[in-house]
Structure 1
Amino acid sequence: VCTACSKKRAVYHLVSLHKNELVETHLCEECYKSSGLSLAKSGSVNNSNSILDALLGKDIEKEIQEKYCQRCGTSLVEFRHSGVVGCSNCYNVFKDEIRKKYPFRENYKDSGLKTIDDLQYIKMLNDELKKALKDEQYERAAEIRDKLRKYTEQRE
């Protein structure tokens, strides 16, 4: 949900660094356009009079636009934290991150990540589930378990 209007779904996710503290702001298309924000090639917002300044009442030192999946809403930050994607479209959205985290065999074809088969995905989820349980992150483990269960049920 958009931080500015609290009505529409956020499509821009901005992470701000202010006094060594990360601040997340989520904006819908309209609020993003009306804010006057523009992204420089470096990925930082180059307008100091941004809507974020008004919303937070602070000077924003650094902002980056966050990548996310349009289909399920999983963000790059969420993927980096959990290592688990939300849907099949996430494989295309986060393919560079996935390649870094899970190196593929030589027979991988560079036509998107559709070559990840069911067994590899299930193994990845199981590995994440074991890690979450080992780290005593039971809520995260339950979410992964549910994703695993839903995925296997869809394949039967």
Structure 2
Amino acid sequence: MECQECHKRPATLHFTQVVNGDKTEVYVCEVCAKEKGYMTYPEEGYSLHHLLSGLFSPSFEIQQDTPRQETEELQCPKCEMTLSKFKQVGKFGCSQCYQTFEEYLDPIFRRVHSGNTAHHGKIPARKGGDMRIKKQVDAYREELQRLIKNEAFEEAATVRDKIKELEKELGRDDA
């Protein structure tokens, strides 16, 4: 395969970028990768700290006069962990940190988890019966709201009945 940038040399590097669920693949030669900034070689090399700090901080430098600079000093009232310290270490100091830094976590999770903020993994077959039903009820509720918004009331009634059926099934399992 040839380089997608220069179309002269063979592509030796493959980069995949996922942003908000959109996957982009780039095939380039090493020369074009360096020129376009796909890869850089710092003198001291990369450490685990560089990797983690790259995940928890934006790819551009923050200007000193931006309002975001003030948020760096946000501090947990329980353990006194600051937002900048969390970004540096990559771990919270206590459970209260989640509430304290809540509004700043979503972008971090999106970066780390390829644009997703909710877990959509598999549910164990033996233990996940109720969980599966609850997820189905949530999906039906979202569908119901969409149908009501679009004034598709007959379809909405059918979905409503499905929700009631599943909720009865959940109630029987609890008894």
Q: Do the structures match in fold with TM over 0.5?
A: no
Which one has a bigger Cα radius of gyration? 2
* Larger helix share, 1 or 2: 2
> Normalised by the size of structure 2, how large is the TM-score?
0.26
